[in-house]
Structures are given as structure tokens and as C-alpha cells.
């Protein structure tokens, strides 16, 4: 994955200021920042949902395994 250094960022900012103008550049930065913030919140929400689902699944599987083991122990004790 390519990395962006300070020089590349400087070129991008310079071109953006030339294209948008010095008045509209701060407004554009504000909009881009709000978009990035909303994307980060969305990704964090998705990650927490996935984490919650996996934790619930793991707990359910552990409970099922415990129940199966208890039934097997009872069956062994009855047959003895």
C-alpha cells in the first residue's frame, strides 16, 4: 500500500488552494473532516456490532457444550 509523505500532502493542499481558492478551502476542509468523522463512527459501530455478535455466539456455544457435557456425565453415571 502506498504511503503519503509530507511533500505529497503539501502538493495536494497547494493544488486544492489554487483550485478552490483561499476562501472556500477552509469550508472544504470542514466538510471533509465531518465526512471522515461520520465514516469513522459508522465503522466503529459496525465493529462493535460484529464484536457483540461474536461474543454472543461464543457464549452460546460454551453454554451448549456445557449442557452436552453435563448430559454425557449423567448418562455415564446412570450406566455405571
- DSSP E strands in the chain: the ranges are none
The pLDDT, as a whole number, for residue 37 is 95
- For 14-52, what is each residue's pLDDT tens digit? 999 999 998 999 999 999 999 999 999 999 999 999 999
Q: How confident is residue 2, by pLDDT bands cut at 50, 70 and 90?
A: confident
Three-state DSSP state, 37: helix
Residue 23: how many CA atoms within 13 Å on its side-chain side? 0
Which of 36-40, 57-61, 69-73 has the highest mean predicted lDDT (pLDDT)?
Answer: 36-40
Q: Look up the pTM and report it.
A: 0.57
Contact present, 20 and 28 (Cβ < 8 Å) = yes
Contact present, 26 and 17 (Cβ < 8 Å) = no
Amino acid at each position: 500500500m502506498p504511503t503519503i509523505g509530507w511533500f505529497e500532502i503539501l502538493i495536494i493542499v497547494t493544488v486544492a488552494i489554487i483550485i478552490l481558492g483561499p476562501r472556500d478551502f477552509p469550508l472544504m476542509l470542514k466538510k471533509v473532516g465531518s465526512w471522515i468523522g461520520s465514516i469513522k463512527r459508522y465503522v466503529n459501530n459496525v465493529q462493535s456490532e460484529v464484536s457483540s455478535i461474536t461474543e454472543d455466539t461464543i457464549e452460546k456455544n460454551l453454554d451448549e457444550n456445557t449442557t452436552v457435557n453435563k448430559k454425557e456425565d449423567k448418562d455415564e453415571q446412570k450406566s455405571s
